[in-house]
Amino acid sequence: MGFKCGIVGLPNVGKSTLFNALTETAAAESANYPFTTIEPNVGRVAVPDSRLDVIARIAKSAKTIPTYLEFVDIAGLVRGASKGEGLGNQFLANIREVDAIVHVLRCFAGEVTHVEGSVDPIRDAETVETELMLADLESVERQIETATKRARGGDREARERLAVLEPVAAALRAGRPARAATVPVDLQPALRRLNLLTTKPILYVANVEEDAVAGGNAESERVAARAAAQGAGCVVISAAIEAEIAMLNNPQERRVFLETLGLAEPGLARLITAGYALLDLITFFTAGPKEARAWTLKRGATAAQAAGVIHSDFERGFIRAETISYDDYVACGGEQGAKEAGRMRAEGRDYIVQDGDIFLFRFNV
């Protein structure tokens, strides 16, 4: 089960620098001019989780395999992108398939030319989000036209579709994102299936200068306030600093470098963790002599669905999930100790998975 975050922003806000640091590659070229990233770049990034190392050590696992998020970096958007300006709709289409949007906002002055001529992250946020709303409105209006014709012919499914499309169109015309539309609870799944850009959760990244990386600055505080008002996420990062950290291969050198900046961990670790939280994901584990592995799952999913993340046959032939909580696994010294202490439970297919659960799935196909 893959989860993707699309990285958006105006040109020259630090998107590609951040992506390079995030994936510790030079896959996305960075330069002081717009549209450097010509093709969307996709990078898989391990979700930091210290529990996995502890589980692997207890289980004496030969391999440790983390769970991942995918980040998609697209070209910088400009005013008029929804109408084809810059690289236009081609790149908006690249983020329709992501699960969340990471919106990079420039909160530093510096020598790099800003496409709007000055630094104002709130204006920049509004510019990009307006283009996303206009792109959504164009898509919704096109679908309304088609659904209206079918509804007149008595198509019941088309009438139900209009019940979702019309309030969404009203919100977008009023300058509000699709997620703000008044759509009944029973039609929310249909809203999600529209795959609109402005229904996706947003994580703002306030990209600051080196001196502000530990505590942020006045501009990043404005971004944080906007995020709080919208129920969005917000992380303060210096993309330039993260690029420097990514070049340090020695863990000790990284620790020393972070300490000099007054940081406990790289900003990218906070970004990845925030992306995981934004998507309301949890982690479950499997462990044995061959490997200890972390798996990603939506909060509220069942044991059978968790089994299906590993393999569809596991879900299809699900019998039970032998389950140990992380705390019990550690306290009992592993699977055998948990069994002897009566801390291993047999859970059925409808059991709601808890973050940190360690599973041994029993199935028969």
Could you read off the pLDDT of 63-79 as tens digits, one per residue? Answer: 999 998 888 887 666 56
Q: How far apart are the first and last CA of the chain?
A: 21
Residue 291: pLDDT over 90: yes
Taking the CB of residue 56, how many other CB atoms lie within 10 A of it?
Answer: 20
* Sign of the alpha-carbon torsion through 312, 309, 359, 46: positive
Residue 88: predicted pLDDT: 45
Range 265-303 burial, b when 16+ CB lie within 10 A, else e: ebbbbbbbbbbbebbebbbbbbbeeeebbbbbbbeebbb
Mean pLDDT of the chain: 87
Give per-residue pLDDT as tens, 230-257.
999 999 999 989 888 888 878 889 889 9
Taking the CB of residue 17, how many other CB atoms lie within 10 A of it?
Answer: 21
Worst-scoring range by mean pLDDT, 71-80, 156-165, 173-182, 305-314?
Answer: 71-80
pTM of the model: 0.84
DSSP string for residues in 33-79: STT---S-EEEEEEPP-HHHHHHHHHHT-SEEE--EEEEEE-PPP-T
Residue 29: pLDDT over 70: no
